[in-house]
A and B are shown apart, each in its own frame.
Chain A
Amino acid sequence: MIRLSLEIGQTQKPEAILFYILAPLSVLAALGMLIVRKAVHSALLLAWVMITLAIFYIALDAAFLGIVQIVVYTGAVMMLFLFILMLVGVDAPDSLTENIKGHRATAIVAALGFGGLLISLIGRATLNHVSVGLAMANEPGNVQGLASLIFTQYVFPFEVISALLITAALGAMVLAHSQKSAGARLSQRALSSVRFRGDSLANAAGLPSSGVFARHNAVDVPALLPDGTPAKNSISGVLTARGDVQDSTQYALGSLPKVDDESGDK
């Protein structure tokens, strides 16, 4: 197998060995990506495919492309994907029932068509062509050669694509941005200065917690003040709005039981 590839192309031996180790792993991971049930596993296998692709690029003397593939796709895009999967919690295996009629058949036809298109295009570009110019392209150095192409001959498409990307990013931000409730939120600094330099120090230690000491500690029972009145601000505003606040006077002690002096401190 290795000899065959050596004979067909100008592949060097270490490169061929690398290819025959990584290519099956990469294809298996790609298949596994379609087969596994959990979304996160699928994403991980995709990340692995991307990394093997990057290694192939590097082996093909495209060091910059390979490294950028890892930084951008594996490091940023795939990571955001994982992020979303974890936040949304799409863990459960998806059901395989068809919701849209003919969905599966259409998908299979489209996939086959796309695969055929790719194979024919790549075939046209590679078969019966002797690839020349790698050494020429890499002559000033891989990065320098790429840079001089991007910033001279292809500078306009490059700018257009970056404008497109920036527009997309801004669009995403505008769409995802939720309007905050009216009234500016005070900063932590301002709040703390109100708490400690305001007219009274009553707020300094925070709000009282709900419940009546040793009698009832549910969140819907207001705390009792020393004078026996309920402290309304010990209850969450939501409960008050729903009218779910209980009357805490029913838990108040009518009278304190008399403390026996002899059973006190010994």
Chain B
Amino acid sequence: MIKKLFLFAIAAIFFASCNNAPKDQAAEGDQMYAAGTEVVMVSPDEFNANPDAFVNKNVVIEGTAVHVCKHGGKRMFIIGTDPENRIQIKAGDAIASFDETLEGSDVTINGMVDELRIDEAYLTQWENELKADNPESELKIHRGEEGHQHDEGDADAEYEQIEAYRAQLAEKNVDHLSYYSIIASEYKEKK
């Protein structure tokens, strides 16, 4: 009896791990956000037109997932009608990772808009981390463009990226550049 139970447990673990059907993170309840929370419904195009207006606000946004980062799935990029304007979605604490199979699907995301300010101090710190041979620097900026994964772990590509940001700061004559992302607390794939 005990032997049968043990074998059954091993088999159950194996079959569970081979299940290829991804589950929505919001599947446990269809409600995308808690009652009473102020949430702004926004389209990707509205968001891209004036992202600053949504900083630190809870938004629900729907777009097409065009890229999920291959390593860890902690980032996803969605688009609206303009494919060149990608919105970065980061997995919040409640989301283990975004599934790769989301690429090409329409997704609804609930999350908080975050602003990343890149100034000379940020770039210097990033550069110092590269010099210290830190391949997993949190300061690295992910834009999710096609083919970017080929530059993963390539320090030279990151130095080039830093210099490009410096050039942008000088060209625009500003003290910082702003990049916006949404830290997702829930997401749902539209079937």
A binds B: no
